[in-house]
Amino acid sequence: MEEKEKWIDLESENQRLRARLEAMEQELKIRKQRARFRLLRFFAQTYATKPLYHSVSKLVDQLADRNVERDTVKDVLYAALRRLTRLGAITMLIALAPLSMAVLQTYYLKKQNEKYDIQNKRIEQQTYLQEAERRSSLVFLFDNVLNKIDEELRSNPSTRDLSPQLIGRIAALSKALKPYRFLEGDTITSQMSSPERGQVLLSLLASKLSQNTYDQIFLLSDFSYATLQSVNLDGMYLRNINLSNAVLQSVSLTGADLRHANLEGAEITDAHVQWTGMRAKAAYFDFANFYKARVTDCDFGGCSFEYTNFSQARLEKVAFQRASFIQAKFEDVAADSLDFSEAVFLKTVFSLQQSPETGSPDFKFDDIQTDTASFNQITQLPLKIQPQLDTTQRELLIQLDSFYIDGQRRPFVVADSVELFRVKR
């Protein structure tokens, strides 16, 4: 009996809860309908504009009665302008919605591309760092070669010669130390270089080897793209060395022998020789190749430049005072300030790159000695002040040996005479 009463109570409670739930659902439905009605009424008022309808109806009635009031016309105009303004604003918002989405999409795509660029830059940096790490692994081979050099010099201290096997290992090491780009600060260097090749070269020069050994090493080895910064190369034997695309900064070359050296594309900054005073000794650049080299803030006073090639080189603030130029080439060079005071010129060729941005170069030819062929080349330059040849002051007569080959390809030598004249200040 008690269980039956409990069952009846539960059934009645269930019915009450069900009725309450239905009432709540009905109320929620009514609220949704009211919200929809308010939204529809908003759009209806916006587009239909009830005030406009009433004002127009009133105007029509007054026209029928032929009694139009001024306030009625004002109400019609105001309602019409209000309707047009609302429609224009809503239409503009609707039109700007896809444009705004496109602008936001473009903005986020740009940000995404920037992230990709940063990621690619880091990947590139990581690649170059891995390459630099691989180069650094050759330092062990470098140390082994230096130990072998020390051993051979100890066993043969008088001649300072190295064995052909060791010379071959040095040449192989120089070629293995290939140039690469490395990280400076937070950026990768723009130009490739090989500081390790510069270290190998300095170690060889410090060993004071014989000239015969240096000739063999420079003939077989590759020191292109080497980096030499703030080093003293005074009196060093560098004949026939390959320093193409090398970087030479703040280098002293007093008395250095760079005859037949290949400096093509090299970047030379603040290189100098001591050409005045008691310890003055010029450097030799005979038959050297400066093709497309960049020479800046250098002093080569008193040096010898026989058959030297400066074609298409860039020369900025370079001093050649008292230097000797015999059949040198300055063809198609880019230069701004060069000092050739008291220099000697024999059969030297001059021509400048034509650039509308650069004005007349500042060349000094004070008190030079030249032959007529070189002087004609100098007068073709667009100088601010043209030098004048003083034919009355014949300085000296130089005998040159010129090499020729006849029709049967047999070489013979002919003595050639060149007269030098002084140029007026």
What average pLDDT does this structure show over 48-59?
62
Residue with the bigger pLDDT between 391 and 287: it is: 287
Q: Is the pLDDT of residue 399 over 90?
A: no
Query: How far apart, in whole angstroms, are the C-alpha atoms of residue 210 and residue 128?
Result: 38
| pTM of the model as a whole | 0.67
What average pLDDT does this structure show over 16-21?
84
Torsion of CA 98, 104, 108, 111, to 10 degrees: 140
pLDDT, one tens digit per residue, over 220-264 is 999 999 999 999 999 999 999 999 999 999 999 999 999 999 999
Q: What is the pLDDT of residue 318?
A: 96
Query: How far apart, in whole angstroms, are the C-alpha atoms of residue 257 and residue 260?
Result: 9
Mean pLDDT in the chain?
Answer: 82
Q: What is the pLDDT of residue 359?
A: 64
Residue with the bigger pLDDT between 357 and 268: it is: 268
pLDDT, one tens digit per residue, over 175-213 is 988 887 766 666 666 788 888 899 999 999 999 999 999
Query: How far apart, in whole angstroms, are the C-alpha atoms of residue 318 and residue 336?
Result: 9
Q: Is the pLDDT of residue 401 over 80?
A: no
Percent of the chain with pLDDT over 70: 75
Residue with the bigger pLDDT between 425 and 346: it is: 346
3-state secondary structure of 18: helix
Please compute, for residue 166, the number of CA atoms within 13 A of its CA located in the half-sphere on the CB side: 19
Beta bridge partners of 226: 194
Identify the CA nearest to 344 among candidates 385, 384, 304, 391. Answer: 304
Q: What is the pLDDT of residue 105?
A: 80
Residue with the bigger pLDDT between 110 and 3: it is: 110
Residue with the bigger pLDDT between 302 and 360: it is: 302
pLDDT, one tens digit per residue, over 282-332 is 899 999 999 999 999 999 999 999 999 999 999 999 999 999 999 999 999
All residues at 6 or more sequence positions from 398 whose CB lies less than 8 Å from its CB, including other chains: 346, 417, 418, 420
Identify the band that residue 171 occupies on the pLDDT scale cut at 50, 70 and 90. very high
